[in-house]
Amino acid sequence: DAGITQSPRHKVTETGTPVTLRCHQTENHRYMYWYRQDPGHGLRLIHYSYGVKDTDKGEVSDGYSVSRSKTEDFLLTLESATSSQTSVYFCAIMTSGANTGELFFGEGSRLTVL
Amino acid sequence: GESVGLHLPTLSVQEGDNSIINCAYSNSASDYFIWYKQESGKGPQFIIDIRSNMDKRQGQRVTVLLNKTVKHLSLQIAATQPGDSAVYFCAETFTGGGNKLTFGTGTQLKVEL
């Protein structure tokens, strides 16, 4: 268990409102990721971080921002939520060394934008 | 936990039979491939990986085969058990790619008793 938790686990919000999802880890791993999962698309990378204040975009980053002010927390923010952002969001951490694929995923956060 | 109502390709097998799940990858530069298992209501879980300098790798009851010529990856599960019922994803990445994985769309494996 890599000690990763996501919050909130469920959220319903309205179009145009800001939303922040939090990913917390307890083991000081360097790499953290935010993915979204949608029918027919599998998991798509939104943003990732390779250290405190070091982040980069994934393939579906439009409409999302992230912050990592300390090692243990990686925040995903939707500045103005849209219905197309209704999804299940997964945070992941890379628990082994670089150039491996051993991501450990959280339990997911289901977001519904009405 | 969370899950997504995915409309996925489905593979149905009898308990005790072997399962083969296939994946076609797209990036010729990819040199590292991984299989993940996602049970209902949970996040994906690492199963096995393989690098491009290999064409076969075995784990406990699982084998991954890589055919770089046709960009094809497969996961074989021996003596499939009810606990193997899940969605299986392949993922790819490449050296220098910033440790970013690209996932396939997944295959639903259903084990019939």
> What is the pLDDT at residue B35?
95
* Per-residue pLDDT tens over the stretch B40-61: 989 999 999 999 999 999 999 9
User: Inter-chain contact A105–B93, Cβ cutoff 8 Å?
Assistant: no
> What is the pLDDT at residue A28?
87
In this structure, what DSSP letter does residue A14 have? -
Tokens of A56: 């980069």
Instruction: Answer yes or no: are the C-beta atoms of A37 and A90 closer than 8 Å.
Output: yes
Q: A44 forms bridges with which residues in the sheet?
A: A36
CA B41 to the chain's CA centroid: 18
> What is the pLDDT at residue B1?
45
Question: Which residues of chain A are within 8 Å of residue B102 when distances are taken between CB atoms?
Answer: 45, 59
Residues of chain A numbered 41-100 and touching chain B (CB < 8 Å): 41-45, 48, 50, 56, 58-59, 87-88, 90, 92, 94, 98-100
> What is the pLDDT at residue B100?
86
- The larger pLDDT score, comparing residue B96 to residue A12, is at A12
Which among A43, A106, A107 has CB closest to B89?
Answer: A43
Residues in chain A: 114
Residue of B nearest to A2 (CA): B45
> What is the pLDDT at residue A58?
94
**Segment B64-83 mean pLDDT:** 96
Q: What one-letter code names the amino acid at B46?
A: F
> What is the pLDDT at residue B23?
95
For residue A39, count other CB atoms closer than 10 A to its CB: 13
Closest CA to B54 of B43, B65, B44: B65
Q: Looking at the complex, report in whole angstroms how far the Cα of residue B79 sits from the nearest Cα belonging to chain A.
A: 25
pLDDT, tens digit only, all 114 positions of chain A: 568 999 999 999 999 999 999 999 998 899 999 999 998 788 999 999 999 999 999 999 999 999 999 999 999 999 999 999 999 999 999 876 555 668 899 999 999 999
In this structure, what DSSP letter does residue B35 have? E
Residue of B nearest to A47 (CA): B100
pLDDT(B9) > 80: yes
